Structure 1
Amino acid sequence: MILAQVQQFYESLGHHPRHELDTFQRYFPHDYSLNEIDDETAQAFIAHNPVANQALLLGINIGQQVIKARRPQLLSAQHSATFGHFAQKEIGGQAQEQLCVAMVDTQLNVIGWEVVFVGTLTQVTASPREIFQRALKANAYAILMVHNHPSGNVHPSAHDLSFSQKLFQLGKTMNLPLLDSFIVSQQDYWSMVENQQLERLA
């Protein structure tokens, strides 16, 4: 039962909860009763304590909606070309370097895209900690990293390669794999997995 939370709700409003809990249990004897509320039952329950009981039912309804909510799927990352073209449209034309992380679920659907760092015209300083924090917060299965080269040359620098390989190894250790690292411009993209610069994970 959720009686402990209901009791806490009434106590937070300054009500003595015993009477309120008795009323609540009379109308909603089981947890599943809250999923079957009709308008007549709701109005009858609210009438016992109009302000508090209406607020309680609204809170329960909000909780039910939150449980049903899912992150939107932006696109599938199963094919690197599809994802590369998406990343091009997002940051390929930016005048400053940006580093973004795409978060994917177990079906490789992109469920989150966040700009993690913005740098100068030629470089961006990134922290693995910040990248993985974003992914953990989103409860992601895996990540893809993307940054742009405003120069238009998408070939990775030595720093690009070493940083991506470092993230790849950290991801394996954390069981939050880096699936690929992309460099994009307005005209092109570069996938390190496609070009055998990162291991392709099964």
Structure 2
Amino acid sequence: MESLDDVIDAMIADRVIHRHRRKWLIAIALVVVLALVILATGGWKEKQGRTVPTVTAPTTVTAGKWEYSFTKAEIRRQKKTEYSDAEAKLRVYFDLKNIDDEEHQSDSLTGDLLRWVPGNGEDLVDSNGATCRGELNWVLVYGLPPQSCYTEFKIPADFSADMVEIGVLGEKYEGDDSLFGANDDPYWHNEAPVAVVQVEKPVVVEDKAGD
């Protein structure tokens, strides 16, 4: 027969387990999410492990609430001057359309939804968003025709390539995981890789300072 002390110890242990069970579940969920992110990113870095389709421009990609029609790319260089070092940027052109069939809201493209894939195991590089009609972060209205836009990435000053790869991410329209005790009303978030777009033969352009 169990002693009173054993019963008390068992009750205390049971309370501790219940108190920390939710924290353990959250920790496990975070580990799983981190593993998936690492897997997805690694899939972009190494073609052998890529888990999303690779397409070649000109091409149209639908990702979340955006539709892209990729066309061409430029490597834009600025020479070294007395006051600044040489620098370069990769500019990728596309037509962009807001296809938010869930909320029908106007929005601008965030820079983390397009990423340059340097290859050779290097980290992905976020874009600066979308420039449309000469304005960065131009707001696109749901339902209107696509706008001619471009995005830019910082690249090494001496960068050259016969082909560049752009990773496209799409947000999902879903609620937060109830495990975290958050609101489960759906909204656009949780971006995930959708495709890698290859743009061949980027044109080299010599920019003047400030362009």
TM-score, length-scaled by structure 1: 0.28
Instruction: Please state which structure has a larger fraction of its residues in helix.
Output: 1
User: Which of the pair has the greater relative contact order for Cα pairs under 8 Å at 6+ separation?
Assistant: 2
* Larger CA Rg, structure 1 vs 2: 1
TM-score, length-scaled by structure 2: 0.27
